[in-house]
Structure 1
Amino acid sequence: MKRVTGSYTTHTTLGEPVKAFVPFPLPPAEPALAETAWGERNRAAQMALARLSAVAGLVPSVDWLLYSAIRKEALMTSQIEGTQATLTDLFDEEAGLVVSNTDDVEEVTNYLQAFRLVQDNLRDPAGLPISVRLLCNAHRLLLNGVRGTGKQPGELRRSQNWIGGTRPGNAVFVPPPADQVPSLLADLERFIHAPGDELPALVKVALVHVQFETVHPFLDGNGRMGRLLIAALLEHWGLLPEPLMYLSGYLKQHQGTYYRHLSAVRTEGDWEGWVGFFLEGVEVAAARAEQDIVALATLVAADRRRLLQHPQASPASYRLFELLPTMPRFSLERIRQALGTTFPTASAAAKVLQELGIVTEVTGQKKNRIFSYQAYIDLLSR
């Protein structure tokens, strides 16, 4: 039996009648979600997350793992929406360098700010829980000063939106009417915070993501907010202690399949197909993140050994090296400030790392030189 996951309501928008889809509340019913859709896959995904957490615990500093993982997630989720920024662009912008595609980089950095806001609230006993209010606050940061800044940042939409096509009448998908958005999000909030564990937490994350995208509560930024919600729920339900996994990389790699599964839930009632795809994505993304951590840790450890054996190595060069994983591109002025030292000391520290081939100077200039921990950036950019 084909499951029905919502109903259509006809209303007039932009002068023409439009059939908008209104999803039923979660969890799926008539029939209920089949356990065969998630049993083995859920166990495999949870094991992959557990291995990722364990490997991360073996690294001297989790801070530099988080630095890279969060930026990869921010970059990939933005690329799904069409931005062209690269990791190097992001590192250059953070180093205070001029980047050509400033607008795209700003969209990625806005995502980072929105992500931090949500994470800070979840970790603060006095902070907001996962809620419409918290998501609106994050959305305000996401659209601040970039594409979509004129589309009610931080506010639920007050007009009809649509996906695909030039108007609601020829759209691929028309989300619920604006006046139904608050009650639909209230239902979603209740599902997130409801007691009971009839469904595994990862399965619930998968369900929430589709429901959020189906409601499409904002005029812009719904895809990025929906994927940010995935990361928030992984922490909320204790599935990953730190945001070490960049699931958007998997979703970008399989973007067509990702969108087809979202659509099939609405048109065919195929929650099982989506849940299976999502769980496989978590397993693959967690395994990929684990491999990246091992590769990065191996590179850093090998470079650290070489530095320790260098006859001109100094305390400043050691301190600079330890900053590299969270500052892979830097100016001498930036490291002078970071190390709290003089310009000659900062310059001498960079020279030691340059002689070892750990960092390279990328401008070819005598003044305002910029250095890059290129092997590290190349690993991250794979």
Structure 2
Amino acid sequence: MFRTHSVRITPEVLGLIASIDEFRGAWRSLGTLAPERLAALRRVATIESIGSSTRIEGSRLSDRDVERLLSNLRIQSFTTRDEQEVAGYADVMETVFAHYREIPLTENHIRQLHRDLLRHSEKDEWHRGNYKKSSNSVVAFDEQGRSMGVVFETASPFETPRLMTELVDWFHSNRDIAPSERLHLLLLIGIFIVVFLEIHPFQDGNGRLSRVLTTLLLLQAGYAYVPYSSLESVIEQSKEAYYLALRQTQGTIRGAAPDWQPWLVFFLRALSRQVQRLAQKVERERLVLAALPDLSLKVIDFVRQHGRITMAEAVRLTGSSRNTLKLHFRSLVAQGHLATRGQGRGAWYELR
């Protein structure tokens, strides 16, 4: 099994863990926003997570496309692979958010999550829920969904079942000992994820599933704020660093002295950025509640739920005149709550 005694607890690692845990402890008071506000934050974060995680793997759907698709998930029929992947990711995210306490980390449950992740994907019907039967590798994609080449090679199909059993057993044996005698849970989760990606146990969908498993393990570890801020979005915006950290650590995992540092530092920095974004959003929500008139609040609520708003939509939503709404929009833009996109009657507004 791989060695974890070489994990270096540097001042930066300690500082990142401390700040993340401090936010976790404060979330009970930070999370006392009105239920509808929390629901709006979660919806926006979910859209960002689904869009980002699928785009990292080559999808070309924007967050707006994802939001539109999610509003019609009842159709259960999707014409493109991108849509199929988004629908599957949405299903699994909802399952994890609702039932994370009842989903033990076992190989069977990992395979089940993989099956559900690809349930709408016709191309993946032959392998979903089963470990890979042929070799695969990690491939990076650019913003247009084009392959940028292989990042690193992965475990062979022959090795995969044994390595997955070892990984799951290792995680449980380390998580279940006294906190004073083991690595911090965030480090255990980070190591689990990078080894999972090094094994790459399924034919396809490993990257998306690794991010689902990250969310599951964080929630189970008590990081209850996770559904309200998108970690996937943070990773998408630092894709080059993400792939570089994976490459630097992956090549050393099976050696005598694995170099966990590149990946763990990236992972903790991403978690820290996730926390910072959520803290900013919560503070903005508090300011909004304290200072904005009801009409402006209705506009903000609509944008949080739907991603953007047009003047025509605002008129239908509020029943107010265009001239009155123009004043509110102008104020919301000036105060930094909204940003204007487009011009004239085709203009629309989104959160800044």
TM-score tier, shorter chain, comes to: 0.7 to 0.9
**Other-structure match for 2:205:** 221
Amino acid at match of 1:75: G
CA root-mean-square deviation: 3.7
Helix, strand or coil for the counterpart of 1:90?
Answer: helix
In structure 2, C-alpha distance between the alignment counterparts of 1:45 and 1:348, rounded to whole Å: 42
**Other-structure match for 1:249:** 233
CA drift of 1:249 comes to 1.7
**Other-structure match for 1:337:** none
CA shift in 2, pair 1:355/1:107, >3 Å: farther
1:315-343 Cα distance to aligned partner (Å, 9 max, x none): xxx8x99777445689xxxxxxxxxxxxx
In structure 2, C-alpha distance between the alignment counterparts of 1:234 and 1:276, rounded to whole Å: 17
When structure 1 is superposed on structure 2, of 88-97 and 133-142 the one drifting more is 88-97
Match of 2:39 among 54, 63, 75: 63
From the CA coordinates, give the structure whose radius of gyration is larger: 1
Match of 1:108 among 58, 64, 86: 86
**Other-structure match for 2:319:** 351
1:115-137 Cα distance to aligned partner (Å, 9 max, x none): 222333323xxx33122222222
CA drift of 1:211 comes to 0.8
- Whether 2:18 is the aligned partner of 1:40: answer no
Amino acid at match of 2:207: G
**Other-structure match for 2:161:** 182
In structure 2, C-alpha distance between the alignment counterparts of 1:248 and 1:321, rounded to whole Å: 24
Helix, strand or coil for the counterpart of 1:159?
Answer: coil
**Other-structure match for 1:159:** 134
CA drift of 1:146 comes to 2.9
Amino acid at match of 2:94: R
CA shift in 2, pair 1:285/1:322, >3 Å: closer
- Asked if structure 2 preserves the Cα contact closer than 8 Å seen for 1:85 and 1:101, the reply is no
- Asked if structure 1 preserves the Cα contact closer than 8 Å seen for 2:47 and 2:67, the reply is no
Amino acid at match of 2:113: A
**Other-structure match for 2:171:** 192
CA drift of 1:65 comes to 1.8
- Asked if structure 2 preserves the Cα contact closer than 8 Å seen for 1:77 and 1:227, the reply is yes
CA shift in 2, pair 1:322/1:251, >3 Å: closer
Residues 82-93 of structure 1: pairs in structure 2 closer than 5 A: 82-93=58-69
Relative to total residues, which structure has the larger helix share, 1 or 2? 2
- Whether 2:246 is the aligned partner of 1:270: answer no
Gaps in structure 1 of 5+ consecutive residues: 1-23, 309-317, 331-346, 360-371
CA shift in 2, pair 1:207/1:224, >3 Å: same
**Other-structure match for 1:315:** none
Residues 80-159 of structure 1: pairs in structure 2 closer than 5 A: 80-96=56-72, 103-123=81-101, 127-146=102-121, 148-159=123-134
- Whether 2:263 is the aligned partner of 1:289: answer no
CA drift of 1:69 comes to 1.3
In structure 1, C-alpha distance between the alignment counterparts of 2:128 and 2:92, rounded to whole Å: 12
Helix, strand or coil for the counterpart of 1:163?
Answer: strand
**Other-structure match for 2:53:** 77
In structure 1, C-alpha distance between the alignment counterparts of 2:211 and 2:321, rounded to whole Å: 38
1:73-98 Cα distance to aligned partner (Å, 9 max, x none): 11111111121212221222344499
In structure 2, C-alpha distance between the alignment counterparts of 1:293 and 1:104, rounded to whole Å: 32
When structure 1 is superposed on structure 2, of 66-75 and 290-299 the one drifting more is 290-299
- Asked if structure 1 preserves the Cα contact closer than 8 Å seen for 2:42 and 2:227, the reply is yes
CA shift in 2, pair 1:112/1:301, >3 Å: farther
% identical equivalent positions: 22
CA shift in 2, pair 1:323/1:284, >3 Å: closer
1:41-72 Cα distance to aligned partner (Å, 9 max, x none): 21123234445554332344322221111221
**Other-structure match for 1:204:** 188
Helix, strand or coil for the counterpart of 1:243?
Answer: helix
CA drift of 1:256 comes to 1.3
When structure 1 is superposed on structure 2, of 201-210 and 38-47 the one drifting more is 38-47
In structure 1, C-alpha distance between the alignment counterparts of 2:87 and 2:199, rounded to whole Å: 26
When structure 1 is superposed on structure 2, of 194-203 and 43-52 the one drifting more is 43-52
**If the length of structure 2 is used for normalisation, what is the TM-score?**
0.74
CA shift in 2, pair 1:205/1:356, >3 Å: farther
